[in-house]
Amino acid sequence: MRIPPHYNYPTWQRFFAGVAIGALISWFVFLHLFGVLQEKQVRKIIELQDKIADLEDEIRIWQEDYVKQNKINKKKLMVQEISVHLVNAEQYKLDSYTTFRIEESVKEDVSHLKAKDIETVYNSRELLKRAIENKTYTINEQPYKLEIYQMFVFTTLSIELKLKPLPSS
C-alpha cells in the first residue's frame, strides 16, 4: 500500500503547516493562561498563609495575655464583705436587736478575714466553723449555740447560722 503524495499539493502543505502553527500557538496560549492562573493561585495561597501566621501570632499573644490576666485576677480575688444571717430567729421569738447583736458578734469574730484571698479563707473554713460554733450566747437566761447552716466563700463571705439551745445541766 502506498501513501498518497500530499507533499506535492500546495493546498495540503498549507493545511498541515497551518495545523502545526495553530497547535504551537494554542500551546503557547494555553501555557500563558495556565501560568497566569497558577500565579494568581500561588499569590492567594501565600497571602492566606501570611494571614494565618498573623492570626496564629495574635492568638498566641491573646492567650499569653489571658493567662497573665487570670493570674492577676486570681490574686485580686479577696473577701471584701462579710454577710451574716440568723436563719431561725423567728422560731425562738428573738427580737431584732438580739438577732442584730448575735450577727454583729459573729461578724466581729470573722472580721479578720476581710481583705484575705479567697483560697486562704476556703482553706481555713474548718477553723472558722469551730470558732463560730464553740461560742455560747445567753438569751433570756437560756444558753444557745450557733451552728453554721450554709457558708459561701467568694468576694462576699456569706454565713447563714442556726440557733440551737444547749441542753440544761
Q: Where are the domains of the chain?
A: 6-76, 81-165
Low-confidence ranges of the chain (pLDDT < 70): 1-7, 75, 168-169
Q: What's the pLDDT at 168?
A: 67
Q: What's the pLDDT at 93?
A: 86
> What string of H, E and C letters represents the secondary structure of the chain?
CCCCCHHHCHHHHHHHHHHHHHHHHHHHHHHHHHHHHHHHHHHHHHHHHHHHHHHHHHHHHHHHHHHHHHHHHHHHCECCEEEEEECCCCCCCCCHHHHHHHHHHHHHHCHHHCCCEHHHHHHCHHHHHHHHHCCEEEECCEEEEEEEEEEEECCEEEEEEEEEECCCC
Is the whole-model pTM more than 0.75? no
Q: What's the pLDDT at 21?
A: 96
Q: What's the pLDDT at 105?
A: 93
Q: What's the pLDDT at 106?
A: 93
